[in-house]
Amino acid sequence: MRALLLAGLLAGCATVPPASDVAPNVPATAETDPVDTAADAADDPAIWRNAADPAKSLVIGTDKKAGIHVYDMKGKRLSFTPAARLNNVDLRDLGGRVVVAASDRADVATAHVSLFLLDTAAARLQPLGRYPVGAGEAYGMCLWTRASDKALFGFVVLKDGRIDQVAIDTAGATPQVKTVRSMKVATQAEGCVVDDRTGLLYVAEEDVGLWRFAADPAAPVTGTPIAQVDGRTLFADAEGLALAPQGRNGGYLVASSQGDNAYTLYRLPGVTYAGRFRIDGGAIDGTSETDGIELALGDFGPDYPRGLFVAQDGDNAPDTQNFKYVSWEKILKALGL
């Protein structure tokens, strides 16, 4: 079914982008230690920025066969927390308590969220537990902090395209996780990201394109299509999503165009195509078949003066998969933005 859908969407489209859409190469500055398990294992990163000492910022990455890693800014693994089948990961700093949430696929019949606290000084994750969300296999995961009251919500993207929103309360001794509503796209989806400024949720339906939903649980559940898998600017599978917020509602939405090993930028708030790039061309090998991506703006030290972009590398041969670090400033310069 997915193959037929993709064929229909790409009918008549060129398989090679025209010159205006060719993706320039941007070299990686660093890479993480490879994950311990082989084949399709590394999946999704999250970034915690240390505002007091940017060089001591941390990157979290999932190994969906073994657990979750914490890396430093050079890519060195600082700690590992075993956990079965964690997929996507996101985090929010709640006034000094950094909450980390991951989609948990250990039970394919019932989706779960696994919660952790990040001990930023020790660079370790403290498990808080696994919490059921609803029927189905958990796949994507992203968090949202509501601006009006700082309430924390999570969005779990099920493999069949359902999106379950959960309210997460970590104030007590035991976290409380409650499913508050569900949304749906027609086919398999995974990547998602929420803009804390605007309360907008973005979801990648892998063979179709990108959707936008209102994140508030009281809002309608109908989504708006905003970008299509067209075989020119965005290729199937459309996977990870990340945000570069600027001002009140501007900046960029970034999508992993997995089918042609590239990354596509859309200008906010109107979600207009802004360009695309690949990670390649330096002393460190490039990326391919990227699943998860993450982007955090701000000073991360001299190598990343305007922000850090992290991408999973689906083929890090001869080593197992890992994550690549790229300067956001270099990406913008390569695209003339």
Q: What is the pTM of this model?
A: 0.94
Other Cβ atoms less than 10 A from the Cβ of 319: the count is 13
| Domain of residue 163, CATH code | 2.120.10.30
Contact 45, 32 (CB under 8 A): no
**Sheet containing 322-327: order of strands:** 30-31, 322-327, 307-313, 293-297
**Residue 37 to residues 68, 82, 288: CA-CA distances in angstroms?**
12, 12, 18
- Number of structural domains, the chain? 1
Q: The domain containing residue 52 runs over which residues?
A: 2-334
CA distance 255 to 237: 10
Q: Rounded to whole angstroms, how far apart are CA atoms 77 and 68?
A: 10
The answer to whether residues 35 and 320 touch, using CB atoms and an 8 Å cutoff, is yes
- DSSP structural state of residue 150: -
pLDDT, block means (10 residues), the chain with 337 residues: 38 38 93 96 97 96 97 98 96 94 96 98 97 97 97 97 97 94 98 98 98 98 98 96 97 97 97 97 96 98 97 97 98 97
Per-residue confidence (pLDDT) for residue 4, from 0 to 100: 37
Q: Please give the pLDDT value at position 96.
A: 84
In angstroms, what is the C-alpha Rg of the chain?
A: 18
